[in-house]
């Protein structure tokens, strides 16, 4: 393809629906030349609405936004979805061109703002309705599902992660595109030495045992935190480090005080997490979710992984160890994971999901908006 031109070619895959089928086509964007309208057109300014969570809990959208700013030339404002940020967006309608809204509150609020301001909306659908339905009553989950369906129907484009959501998205959305969750791969695979030293200094006050398991994430019943803590009674040679925040925080603090091989360190800055993973042997994720960020971060850091049996098995296959929610099953899986020698297989697989690669989907989505 015009090999005499010294230009880089970035290939972008877009998926659009045609009836019940998925048609994929590929287009090439010539970077450095002026022959393609994608290069010559100014990038739109973006107001991105995300769930209103602490920065250290939900970091994926900011990672993509950072790449869009630094490497693609977009102006992106990421804001938590609250009543004040919604009012501000309506008042500042002249300061942005496109609205991005992330599941769930961000997508619903973004759609509302789009109707009021006339701005085009892209829905960033990263969580399946199944998870919400399992943890909320029908009186709450049904209206949310309906609101999401309306958001899909009114959006210019819907980006979605979970295959199980394809039927619902394709039923309502005029255009949709498959994407993935990702990980800041290099930051976890080759952590900063200063961060490693700082974490090791902090952990020096703890008497860690021969092997170390780690859990990073939300402290909610859906993540089987209680069962994980109970599993540690079967692992006398292991210590467990827990990082995170949630409704079970009080219980973690009590267990930390009573059980010598469990250490709850609370919520830590996300940039320090690679340092904590560096001292661990096994990372634990006990939510039945094939796209959880925990596995990507654990695997990028070179850890063996214990994952809940179920939906993740098709995706990760033999690359991780599986456990059900029984404490003894969890303990056995942690022990097996600690004996694994082929952790490079998982790490190599996860290298394909670096945020910089995933951000390409968002570049294409934003540039498709006219």
**Domains, the chain:** 40-182+355-367 (3.40.50.2000), 185-353 (3.40.50.2000)
Q: For residues 303-321, give the mean pLDDT.
A: 94
Among 36-50, 66-80, 136-150, the minimum mean pLDDT is found in 36-50
Confidence (pTM): 0.78
Among 44-48, 95-99, 288-292, 304-308, the minimum mean pLDDT is found in 288-292
Percentage of residues in the chain having pLDDT higher than 70? 87
The Cα 41–Cα 39 span in angstroms is 6
Is residue 11 predicted with pLDDT exceeding 70?
no
pLDDT digits (tens, 9 = 90+) for 153-179: 999 999 999 999 999 999 999 999 999
Q: Which residues contact 48 (CB under 8 A, 6 or more apart)?
A: 61, 65, 76, 77, 78, 79, 99, 100, 101, 102, 106, 124
């Amino acid at each position: 393809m015009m090999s005499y031109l010294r230009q880089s070619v970035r290939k972008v895959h877009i998926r659009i629906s045609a009836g019940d089928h998925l048609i994929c086509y590929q287009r090439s964007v010539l970077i450095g030349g002026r022959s393609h309208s994608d290069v010559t057109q100014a990038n739109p300014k973006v107001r991105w609405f995300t769930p209103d969570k602490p920065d250290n809990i939900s970091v994926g959208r900011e990672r993509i936004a950072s790449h869009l700013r630094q490497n693609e030339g977009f102006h992106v404002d990421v804001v938590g979805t609250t009543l004040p940020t919604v009012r501000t967006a309506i008042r500042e309608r002249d300061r942005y061109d496109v609205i991005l809204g992330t599941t769930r509150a961000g997508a619903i609020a973004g759609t509302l703002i789009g109707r009021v301001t006339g701005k085009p909306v892209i829905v960033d659908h990263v969580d399946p309705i199944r998870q919400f339905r399992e943890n909320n009553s029908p009186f709450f989950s049904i209206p949310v599902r309906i609101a999401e369906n309306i958001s899909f129907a009114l959006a210019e484009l819907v980006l979605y992660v979970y295959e199980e959501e394809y039927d619902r998205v394709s039923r309502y959305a005029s255009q949709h595109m498959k994407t993935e969750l990702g990980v800041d791969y290099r930051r976890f695979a080759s952590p900063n030495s200063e961060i490693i030293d700082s974490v090791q200094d902090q952990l020096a006050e703890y008497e860690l045992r021969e092997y170390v398991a780690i859990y990073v994430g939300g402290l909610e019943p859906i993540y089987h935190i209680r069962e994980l803590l109970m599993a540690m009674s079967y692992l006398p040679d292991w210590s467990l480090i827990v990082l995170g925040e949630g409704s079970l925080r009080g219980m973690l603090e009590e267990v930390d005080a009573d059980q010598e091989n469990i250490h709850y360190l609370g919520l830590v800055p996300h940039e320090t997490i690679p340092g904590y993973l560096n001292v661990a042997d096994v990372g634990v994720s006990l939510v039945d979710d094939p796209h959880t960020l925990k596995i990507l971060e654990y695997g990028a850091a070179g850890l063996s992984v214990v994952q809940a049996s179920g939906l993740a098995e098709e995706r990760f296959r033999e690359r991780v160890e599986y456990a059900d929610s029984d404490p003894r099953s969890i303990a056995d899986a942690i022990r097996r994971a600690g004996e694994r020698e082929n952790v490079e297989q998982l790490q190599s697989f996860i290298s394909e999901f670096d945020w910089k690669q995933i951000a390409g989907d968002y570049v294409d989505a934003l540039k498709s908006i006219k």
